[in-house]
Amino acid sequence: MVELSKRMQAVAAFVPKNTVACDVGCDHGFVSIYLVQQKICPKVIAMDVKAGPLQRAREHIQEYGLEDYIPTRLSDGLSAIKPEEAEDSIDGAIIAGMGGRLVVKILSDSLDKVRKMSYLVLQPQSELAFVRKWLRQQELFITDEDMVLEDGKYYPVLFIKLKRDGKDHLREGSARQEAEDHFGPCLIQKRHEVLKSYLQFWEKHQRNILEQVKEHPERGKQVLQELERIRYTMELMENA
């Protein structure tokens, strides 16, 4: 049986049972293999933009005898998914292990297909506030989150349930909205222990920066704003 890293285990844990998923940027294919082996997904479409990683994924899938359950496709994002597949036969998409702007580009390039799916599982490696704000503006609302610490790095995972009723609007530019975009609405509401650890780490990091930019008032102002956002987020968690 395939064993996943802690961060990829957190991704797999959000995939709903008995759904067909497309694994975008599948790399070596281990998440796809895990989902089928654990009987979470009856089928996973493993996709990658590069032929080399896709070939390695294909080889691993063959090693486990899962070719009938995990077809592979060379695909730039979701381009190899047909619109009718997104509506009729593919339930959701997994996009993990890439930068936040690339995650947004993949989603925005195929937004019509995304809206026909039932869920997204995202693990952006950077620019979380940019990703969360874009999702919110597209009314792709985060309904659950997790965060893990592995090898000294923090990895948030976002779950978006599509085709749901209701909207989650906060006033654009409000302090709470800024905090939720940066640190995660569900993580804050859960008082997530790993988020607490991250906020402590990030606060210490920002204070170190503040000492180094004493001669640069504009940069210092930015750091003070970030420290205020951290403090405010900690208060939100205490009162959640």
CATH classification of the domain holding 221 = 1.10.287
Clarify whether residues 142 and 189 are in a common domain: no
- Domain housing 114: 6-169
Residue 1 lies in a domain: no
**Domain co-membership, 180 together with 92:** no
pLDDT tens by residue, 182-231: 999 999 999 999 999 999 999 999 999 999 998 898 999 999 999 999 99
pLDDT at 113: 96
Among the three residues 169, 189, 206, which one is the final residue of a domain in this structure? 169
Looking at residue 240, its pLDDT comes to 84
- Compute the average pLDDT of residues 225-238: 97
Q: Is the dihedral of CA 47, 125, 168, 139 positive or negative?
A: negative
Residue 62 belongs to some domain of the structure: yes
Q: Is the CB of residue 148 less than 8 Å from the CB of residue 200?
A: no
* Whether residue 129 sits in one domain with residue 176: no
Co-location of 103 and 218 in the same domain: no
What is d(CA 105, CA 222) in angstroms, rounded to the nearest whole number?
27
Higher pLDDT, 212 or 173: 212
Q: Are residues 163 and 176 in the same domain?
A: no
Q: What is the dihedral of CA 234, 168, 140, 195, to 10 degrees?
A: 10
